Structures are given as structure tokens and as C-alpha cells.
Amino acid sequence: MTRFGWIVLTVFVLVAAGFAAMTSFGTARHRRLDTAVTQPLPSSSPAASAALLTVPVKGVRREAIVDSWNDARGGGTRGHHGTDISAAAGTPVIAAAAGTVEKLFQSNLGGTTAYVRSLDRRWIYYYAHLSGYAPGLHEGQGVRAGEPIGFVGDTGDAGPGNYHLHFGLQRMRPDERWHQGIDVNPFPLLAARGQGR
């Protein structure tokens, strides 16, 4: 190949590499989620600096919590984005951290759910499969860590008799709504052990 041919080939490869670096394949949301859910919380984040979350099921010890992050759900069509904490039906569910009840919601997957937003608005604490809410719980209510949220149940897609709390953690921008955060594995902040998956 001539010198001119090598120059043309080099320019072509550089242009193609630059184009590939600027082009995004797939959706940015999926890439953002894939990155966020697998990274440990940065040590400068409010949740990480707050040491540990309160175990949100009364009477459950940290050592009993199992990391169920990314376990297959929906017949293998999706990964699990939370930590399941098994307990007897009706066991009290308590706030894992201080915040404001942002949304009480009934959904097909989560059943009876509560979304509590952190005081700095950077985190959502998600409680799902509840059998019901604590008496008087309402949107806009402030809660402290350890205060009642509801009761362990099997609502939504938990399955009859599969009593547990699905606890989720989402990183939020202050202007995002209760359902718009990025899922983060809550296990390290619940169990006081390193991120298992």
C-alpha cells in the first residue's frame, strides 16, 4: 500500500473511532441504570456517610438479611432491585431512615407500597408488599428512623403466603418525582457487610 493509502486508512479509522465514541447505542436510561445499580455508594454520599440504615422490619437482625439483589424475577425477565426481608405476616415495618412520606401507592408488582423521601431529597426508601399501613400514615407526614410505616404482607406479586418486605433504595435528584430515581442495592446499608453482588 502507498503512503497516501496508509494516511487515508489512518484518517478513516480515527474518524470512525471518534464517531463510535460519540454515538450511544441503546437508551441512556438503561446504561445509566446498569452503571448505577452495580456501583457501591460513594463514600461522600449522604446515605453512605449516615453509617447504616435501621433494619426496616421490627425484630429482624442484620445478620439475618440476605442479599437478593439482581436475583431473577418475572420468570427470568428482570433482575430484583431491592432486598427482601422475610418475616411473619403482620410484623411491624418501620422507617429505615428519617424522611417524609412522599407517596402511598397500590401497584400490581409491589402491592401496598410506601415511598419515603430522605430529608435532603436525595434518596427514596421504598417499602413494598405491605399488608397495610400504620394507623394514620399519610402523604406529607414526617417520620423518624424506627417509626411505624406498615406491616409485612404478601400483596402484589409476592405470592400468597410469601410474607416479606421488599425494601428498595433509589438515588434521586431533588427535582425528580417519587418514581424516577435510580435503583441502588440497599443491602450494604442494611446488613453492615460488603456489597455481595
Q: Say which residue, 21 or 6, is predicted with more confidence.
A: 6
The verdict on residue 160 lying in a domain is: yes
Q: Looking at residue 145, what is its pLDDT?
A: 96
Counting the structural domains of the chain, the total is: 1
Per the structure, the complete domain to which residue 103 belongs is given by 39-191
Q: Looking at residue 25, what is its pLDDT?
A: 37
Q: Looking at residue 44, what is its pLDDT?
A: 39
Q: Give tens-digit pLDDT for 35-89.
A: 334 334 444 344 443 458 999 999 999 988 888 766 656 566 666 578 899 999 9
Please say whether the beta carbons of 53 and 124 come within 8 A.
no
Distance CA(125)–CA(32), nearest Å, equals 20
Please say whether the beta carbons of 146 and 93 come within 8 A.
no
Instruction: Kindly tell me if the per-residue pLDDT of 189 is higher than 60.
Output: yes
The pTM of the full predicted model, rounded to 2 decimals, is 0.71
Share of the chain above pLDDT 70, in %: 66
The verdict on residue 13 lying in a domain is: no
The rounded Cα 45 to chain-centroid distance in angstroms is: 15
- The domain that holds 164 is classified in CATH as 2.70.70.10
Please say whether the beta carbons of 114 and 129 come within 8 A.
no
The verdict on residue 197 lying in a domain is: no
The verdict on residue 12 lying in a domain is: no
The verdict on residue 16 lying in a domain is: no
The verdict on residue 153 lying in a domain is: yes
Distance CA(84)–CA(139), nearest Å, equals 24
Q: Looking at residue 74, what is its pLDDT?
A: 58
Q: Looking at residue 11, what is its pLDDT?
A: 54
Q: Which three cell numbers stand for residue 98?
A: 428519617
Give the start-end residues of each E strand in 65-139: 72-73, 78-79, 83-86, 92-94, 99-107, 111-118, 123-133
The verdict on residue 58 lying in a domain is: yes
The verdict on residue 1 lying in a domain is: no
